[in-house]
Structure 1
Amino acid sequence: MNWVSRISKTSVALALTLGMTSVAVWADTIVITADRMVDVSQGKMIKRAGIIVTDNIIAAAGELGKLSVPANAKRIDLGDATLMPGLMDMHVHLTSDATRHGYKRLEVSLPRAAITGVKHAKATIEAGFTTVRNVGAPGFADVALRDAINAGDVEGPRMFVAGPSLGVTGGHCDSNLLPYEYDNYSEGVADGPWEVRKKVRRNIKYGATVIKFCATGGVLSKGTKVGAQQYTFEEMQALIDEAHLRGLTVATHAHGTSGIKAAIKAGVDSVEHVSLLDDEAIVLAKQHGTYFSMDIYVTEYILGEGEKAGILEESLNKERIVGKTQRENFKKAVDAGVNMVFGSDAGVYPHGDNPKQFARMVQFGMTPMQAIQAATINPARLLKQEATLGSLEEGKLADIVAVPGNPMEDMSLMEKVGFVMKDGRIVKQYAM
């Protein structure tokens, strides 16, 4: 199959002359066709599908035979491929380098992290993720990266950014690698209800569009107990209330059971990791409409490559404890009907490898359709962006990806994205 068939001959010829491996084209009207398309809103597959894109908006989508295709539309025929909405990853750290963990991260300056983020942003969008939620970056480096992408200076996904993650002194979101005499703290450290409110306001001032805080200890933080609650309920309540007053959604890092439940009761929008949940936590999540973002692939990288990347032995031991339990609890949450979103924790493992999680989501309890919905319509609802993102419907932004074959039969095909359009602009188009 040739992914570049029947598109603007001038644009393709120019790209080939310049030796480009991806093509960026803007046309007034484009019709994209393929053997099938995923309707994530209805949870069904449409055969012999087409999508009409006018400028950056989807004008129509559905069975090709039922669409009124303008006579002057440019055509992109993908053949035996599956069209779906641009993928959305709700837990990434684009300015973090998966080859640098533990003490190796002390070598990385803020400017260097931001520059590295440019490379990671490109790898992420070429993997099919047109929207991400960056849940924590020092020095508002994620804000700078987002603004550079929005200005067209660099290639990357649409970003919802948190800035520095908020956490207690000595907690998972603090910097605990250096001894006392260095008096070193992460900039998101805040203790007490009024201090956390102040930090939320500061993050918003400098460009955050979501808020992230740490409710419990973590795997990769030195000296924290992975299941121990850190923020009190009162602190969580103040933090979440302040963010909601300003119209922002809130994500919390939470492995431990008490921290998960306290955050849900305090009104958090999504819980990340959710390793040690219990039946009550599942009931609470369903009652409150809370979303779970469970990174069930990353354990393979941590235990397989983590030591070489600098992950501390303490952290490797913690992952050995929580990894298997998290996967078992993932199935429990899916079976119970909890709202689920795709969250990879890319940055702990290499950016661009995000799609490897799809096969694990199916292996550990989801149907293929549920896995795709977790990376499309569900994140759009979590971010309150369902009016413009998350599905292939008239009036929504033209974020479109395609994979060869049928991922409903083989979810590993999600790792072979061959076509990416973001906001009506073709970012990637490879011959197969």
Structure 2
Amino acid sequence: MRRIAAVTALLLAATPLAAQTVVPAPRVKFIHAGALLAKPGEAPRGPSTIVVRNGKVAEVRDGFAAPEAGAELIDLKDRFVLPGLVDMHVHLWGIGGDPLRERLTALNRDDADDMMYAVANARVTLDAGFTTVRDLGGNARGMRALREGVERGAIAGPTIVNAGTAISVSGGHADGTNGVAAEFADALHQHQINTCDGPDDCRRAVRQQVALGAQVIKYMSTGGVLSNVSGGLGRAMTDEEMKAIVDTAHGLGRKVATHSHAAAGTKAAIAAGVDTIDHGTFLDDEAIRMMKASGTWLVPTMMAPAAALEFARAGLLPPATIPKAEEAAAAAFTSHSEAFAAGVKVAYGTDTGVSKHGDNAKEFALMVKAGMTPAQALRAATINAAEALGRSSAIGTIEPGKDADIIAVAGSPLEDVTRMERVEFVMRHGVVHKASGKRQGFPAD
């Protein structure tokens, strides 16, 4: 028996900790909320207690319940508490927000340098109260690694749903060889797998982005403001190319977002079955009717045109972008106002990376100016965005079984939506990252 006991002790000592059967004590937090908007779009609750167990919401109780033995108490009695926000259109890898002139001209920076910017951008985005983002264009392998680093707890950031590199026709908005001298264009083209011409080639491009870790697919229906393309902001892809992209992505279980400015590109994308129209700068009556009939989501990114115009006029973008930026900025507000009034489904998105990382919440005031109520704008950034992502079972509201993604502000944003620009408390998956307006040490639990 002594021999058996000795052997057993040796085996246990040699077994990695992760493989042993010791079950850690539950991590329990009681949050006392002065006001709680558990389900945006509904009336807020008064004093409430949120019980968090192992990163999930376990209970929501009326009043301030006494914490159980061993639980941590988080006092937000003087704060307005609501679900973590979702931004459906960011670029953590950076296309702006970092000095554009440096990004366009530097030859001594590579993916490792850009990853450092992405890590920092993820942190400031989380600090702003955005606990989930859909990243719609960055280095495919890098964004997959960043996403997994956040999930492992190695770095602080929001949950990332990543698209990899956007798919484009040759000469389109995401063709990295546009405007580049021939000798450099040839070198770039050898490493570029996101461009495609014809439906079969576009199927190949989708499959390759998925193989690199893309959880969602983005493609370019039209030209864009920040690139030198011959078609300006007009339609770029054929019906067959768009249909090949959407069908292939859906077949692989991926939703599809499209960058689209011109109405012709938007209508073709809706007909192809795209899930979200991002930007939707030049919507006409027919496009709005089609979006309503098909249930296609609009991600308006109202901050982007003004930010792009500011960069262009400051000389940080090629001269050809200035008239496009001016045209987009002038048209976007009217298009979005008409879409809101018509009842098009709207999910919150900013195109952050064109605008400054961490300023994501400034989109709320623009949406309200365009005709939304603060309640509708908040719903767009929570319940609607969760639905558009296909993640309603995990995020978007504060109720039992969902991720404990919780934020708080001082005062009701239903009365003044700009209060969302000053988030004072951030919890993601039960871990507090910001409290009393100050960043917490990481990891923090």
- The answer, yes or no, to whether TM exceeds 0.5 is yes
Kindly indicate whether the alpha-carbon contact (under 8 Å) linking 1:250 and 1:268 is maintained by their aligned counterparts in 2: yes
Post-superposition shift, 1:303? 2.8
Kindly indicate whether the alpha-carbon contact (under 8 Å) linking 1:142 and 1:161 is maintained by their aligned counterparts in 2: yes
Mapping 1:209-248, distance limit 5 Å: 209-248=215-254
Q: 3-state DSSP class of the match of 2:45?
A: strand
Mapping 1:152-231, distance limit 5 Å: 152-175=153-176, 176-182=178-184, 183=186, 184-185=188-189, 186-231=192-237
Bigger radius of gyration among the two: 2
- The size of the alignment, in residue pairs, is 406
Post-superposition shift, 1:119? 0.5
Mapping 1:255-266, distance limit 5 Å: 255-266=261-272
Post-superposition shift, 1:42? 4.8
Post-superposition shift, 1:300? 2.9
Q: In the alignment, which residue of structure 2 is the partner of 1:99?
A: 98
Q: Say if 1:110 and 1:177 are closer, same or farther in 2 by CA, change over 3 A.
A: farther
Q: Say if 1:431 and 1:146 are closer, same or farther in 2 by CA, change over 3 A.
A: closer
Q: Say if 1:258 and 1:361 are closer, same or farther in 2 by CA, change over 3 A.
A: same
CA distances 1:115-168 after superposition (whole Å, capped 9, x unpaired): 210110001001101100000113532112112212222111100001111000
What is the alpha-carbon distance in structure 1 between the residues aligned to residue 230 and residue 159 of structure 2? 33
AA aligned opposite 1:327: F
Mapping 1:32-47, distance limit 5 Å: 32-40=31-39, 42-47=41-46
Mapping 1:20-419, distance limit 5 Å: 28-40=27-39, 42-61=41-60, 63-64=62-63, 70=68, 72-96=70-94, 97-101=96-100, 104-107=103-106, 108-175=109-176, 176-182=178-184, 183=186, 184-185=188-189, 186-308=192-314, 310-419=316-425
Q: In the alignment, which residue of structure 2 is the partner of 1:12?
A: none
CA distances 1:355-405 after superposition (whole Å, capped 9, x unpaired): 111111111111101111111111111111101111111110100011111
Kindly indicate whether the alpha-carbon contact (under 8 Å) linking 1:90 and 1:134 is maintained by their aligned counterparts in 2: yes
AA aligned opposite 1:238: A
Q: Say if 1:103 and 1:266 are closer, same or farther in 2 by CA, change over 3 A.
A: farther
Kindly indicate whether the alpha-carbon contact (under 8 Å) linking 2:216 and 2:255 is maintained by their aligned counterparts in 1: yes
AA aligned opposite 2:43: K
AA aligned opposite 1:179: A
AA aligned opposite 2:247: D
CA distances 1:206-254 after superposition (whole Å, capped 9, x unpaired): 1110000000011111134343111111111111101101111000000
AA aligned opposite 2:98: T
Post-superposition shift, 1:348? 0.9
Q: Say if 1:156 and 1:231 are closer, same or farther in 2 by CA, change over 3 A.
A: same
Kindly indicate whether the alpha-carbon contact (under 8 Å) linking 1:99 and 1:309 is maintained by their aligned counterparts in 2: no
What is the alpha-carbon distance in structure 1 between the residues aligned to residue 40 and residue 358 of structure 2? 26
Q: Say if 1:139 and 1:29 are closer, same or farther in 2 by CA, change over 3 A.
A: closer
Higher normalized contact order (CA 8 Å, seq sep 6+, divided by chain length): 1
AA aligned opposite 2:100: H
Q: In the alignment, which residue of structure 1 is the partner of 2:19?
A: none
Q: Say if 1:283 and 1:151 are closer, same or farther in 2 by CA, change over 3 A.
A: same
Overall identity of the aligned pairs, in %: 37
What is the alpha-carbon distance in structure 2 between the residues aligned to residue 202 and residue 106 of structure 1? 28
Kindly indicate whether the alpha-carbon contact (under 8 Å) linking 2:347 and 2:381 is maintained by their aligned counterparts in 1: yes
AA aligned opposite 1:404: A
CA distances 1:18-60 after superposition (whole Å, capped 9, x unpaired): xxxxxxxx97221212221113355221122321111111012
Q: 3-state DSSP class of the match of 1:200?
A: helix
What is the alpha-carbon distance in structure 2 between the residues aligned to residue 370 and residue 171 of structure 1? 35
Post-superposition shift, 1:177? 2.6
Q: 3-state DSSP class of the match of 1:355?
A: helix
What is the alpha-carbon distance in structure 1 between the residues aligned to residue 349 and residue 212 of structure 2? 25
RMSD across aligned C-alpha pairs, in angstroms? Answer: 2.0
AA aligned opposite 1:187: I
Post-superposition shift, 1:306? 4.3
Q: In the alignment, which residue of structure 2 is the partner of 1:11?
A: none
Q: 3-state DSSP class of the match of 1:285?
A: helix
Q: TM-score, normalised by structure 2?
A: 0.87
What is the alpha-carbon distance in structure 2 between the residues aligned to residue 56 and residue 241 of structure 1? 36
Kindly indicate whether the alpha-carbon contact (under 8 Å) linking 1:103 and 1:177 is maintained by their aligned counterparts in 2: no
Q: TM-score, normalised by structure 1?
A: 0.89
Q: 3-state DSSP class of the match of 1:389?
A: coil
What is the alpha-carbon distance in structure 2 between the residues aligned to residue 57 and residue 147 of structure 1? 19
Kindly indicate whether the alpha-carbon contact (under 8 Å) linking 2:193 and 2:208 is maintained by their aligned counterparts in 1: no
Q: Say if 1:102 and 1:282 are closer, same or farther in 2 by CA, change over 3 A.
A: farther
Kindly indicate whether the alpha-carbon contact (under 8 Å) linking 2:173 and 2:223 is maintained by their aligned counterparts in 1: yes
What is the alpha-carbon distance in structure 2 between the residues aligned to residue 309 and residue 417 of structure 1? 33
Q: Which runs of 5+ in 1 are unaligned?
A: 1-25
Q: 3-state DSSP class of the match of 1:78?
A: strand
Kindly indicate whether the alpha-carbon contact (under 8 Å) linking 2:225 and 2:308 is maintained by their aligned counterparts in 1: no
What is the alpha-carbon distance in structure 1 between the residues aligned to residue 182 and residue 102 of structure 2? 16
Q: 3-state DSSP class of the match of 2:37?
A: strand
What is the alpha-carbon distance in structure 2 between the residues aligned to residue 346 and residue 309 of structure 1? 20
Q: Which runs of 5+ in 2 are unaligned?
A: 1-24, 439-445
After alignment, is 295-304 or 90-99 more displaced?
295-304
AA aligned opposite 1:75: L
